[in-house]
Chain A
């Protein structure tokens, strides 16, 4: 299959080997839930390749493979980073759209791959983390065989992986900051903006921003310098 047998040339064990199978559909979807729902409804055994089109929030490209058994997701793998399981889901969990290809494969063709425990994900994890669809997650859990419904504990694995990815979090925050500033202009809320910010890392305290004397901000309520603090924006 697509791009996952990289181990062969290096002598390392292949990280994920599954047959190419039969292409069922190929398209760009805004919501990956559409794909997951389709796979579930038709009880697909096979896999989907998921390529997020959102690149701003990814350090590199991501190309995901999600396998299904009878419509229920089994493995997740990112062929770009070689991450598998919840880590791969975390890397792939970005706002859509995704380019998606859906393939059908004989169950036998997936058997070996599906023994890779490290790549496994909870049945409903893709619906929750990629599609953000609680109802689909419920439907997927209901369709999953009993032996795949373990305790919820490792459902948080993808969340933990996401929260551990400081670069990714900073990218989200940076994008939000710049979006907030652009929109403030659009909405006439410029004057309410806090001083030219700061990023100052991600952690902990944020409280001191307002008294930071960054240039260009003449709105500080505690301003005591020679510049009249109330001039701008209050005139009309």
Chain B
């Protein structure tokens, strides 16, 4: 894991933290986060975090609308809330949803996400951070800063690709490399587009996920796509994408060493 986490030793066998990011809204980032999470959960212990603290929606996708404790509560200083209280076991995943209230967002201190992530990292193999669709604030950028690698979710349009490239450069600026690009809402597959995209993104095209009624139906049902329509073509593509992520097996000791040698940036 990355240098930036706190120097508390990792007791588990944390492998990697991925930020799922896009740069623009509406690309299906949350759907993708949960789908990749469920696919990866076949082989790993996966925790999914809604790190989009200003525009949270993972709770709606995961049937956690009424979650009493959320990430917002963990990001408020002085609360004695334990990370476990905001972690829900759903669909074979550990899910940390985020609340949707403005008050919750305003009270939250983005910097505390670092500690929350470090805490979660102790007990899971893989962390997926559903990241904000923006780059305009510290809280929006932090998930990408904290992650080891970023999965860039784009629609095959120029604005989405432009924003995806921006996200990649921001991520790189913080030493977060690109794990791959996921083309979503694809209406026609063009091999040359995928090949061209791979030239510019520091990772392969993980999958072309088609535009799909199954995705919309899953969202309405408050279920992740892979739970609601596991046989759908879109679900199959997500499983393929997860397979291509090439998760890096870290051994616990090496991870712990890296934690110990990591520099913890100042907390203003």
Q: Are B158 and A152 in touch, CB under 8 angstroms?
A: no
Q: B202 and A229: CB pair below 8 A?
A: no
Is A111 at the interface (CB under 8 A from chain B)? no
Give the tally of cross-chain contacts (CB within 8 A). 147
Contact: B138 with A187, CB < 8 Å? yes
Could you list 16 further interchain pairs (A-B, Cβ under 8 angstroms) beyond the known A129-B159, A159-B158, A209-B177?
A95-B162, A134-B26, A159-B156, A160-B192, A172-B165, A173-B166, A177-B172, A180-B174, A187-B138, A189-B265, A190-B265, A192-B174, A193-B173, A229-B261, A232-B263, A233-B264
Pair A172/B166 contact, Cβ less than 8 Å: yes
| C-alpha gap A180/B174 in the complex (Å) | 9
A164→B165 CA distance, assembly (Å): 14
Is B229 part of the contact surface with A, judged by Cβ < 8 Å? no
User: Which among A19-27, A101-109, A112-120, A198-206 touches the partner chain?
Assistant: A198-206
A222 — which chain B residues lie within 8 A by C-beta?
261
> How many angstroms from the CA of A193 to the CA of B171 in the assembled complex?
9
Could you list which residues of chain A lie within 8 angstroms of chain B, going by C-beta atoms? Answer: 89-90, 93, 95, 128-129, 132, 134, 151-153, 155-156, 158-160, 162-164, 169, 172-173, 176-177, 179-181, 183-184, 187-195, 197, 202-207, 209-210, 219, 221-222, 229-230, 232-234, 236
Contact with A along B230-262 (1 / 0, CB 8 A): 000000000000000000000000000010011
Near A by CB (< 8 A), chain B positions 189-231 give: 190, 192-193, 196-197, 199-200, 202
B129 interface hit (Cβ, 8 Å):
no
- Residues of chain A within 8 A of B199, CB atoms compared: 163, 202-204
Q: Does B3 contact A (CB under 8 A)?
A: yes
Is A189's CB under 8 angstroms from B145's CB? yes
Contacts of B175 in A (CB 8 A): 192-195, 209-210
A206, B156: Cβ atoms closer than 8 Å: no
B141 at the interface (CB under 8 A from A): yes
Interface pair B196/A164, CB less than 8 Å apart? yes
| Residue contact B157 to A188, C-beta cutoff 8 Å | no
Counting chain A CB atoms within 10 Å of each CB, which of B160, B174, B263 scores highest?
Answer: B263
Closest-by-CB residue of A relative to B165 is A172
CA distance A165 to B45 in the complex (A): 41
A to B CB contacts below 8 Å, 30 in the list? A151-B188, A152-B187, A152-B188, A155-B188, A159-B157, A159-B161, A162-B158, A163-B161, A163-B196, A163-B197, A163-B199, A169-B200, A172-B162, A176-B168, A180-B174, A184-B173, A188-B268, A190-B265, A191-B265, A192-B174, A203-B199, A204-B199, A206-B202, A207-B202, A209-B172, A209-B175, A221-B3, A221-B258, A221-B262, A233-B263
B202 to chain A, nearest CB (A): 4
Tell me if B169 counts as interface (CB < 8 A to partner A): yes
Complexed CA–CA distance, A219 and B258 (Å): 12
Is B202's CB under 8 angstroms from A177's CB?
A: no
In the complex, chain B residues whose CB is within 8 Å of the CB of A93: 158-159, 162
| Interface residue from A90, A164, A194 paired with B173 (Cβ < 8 Å) | A194
Which residues on the B side are within 8 Å of A180 (C-beta)? Answer: 135, 169-170, 173-174
Whether B158 lies near A219 (C-beta < 8 A) is no
A160 touches B190 (CB 8 A): yes
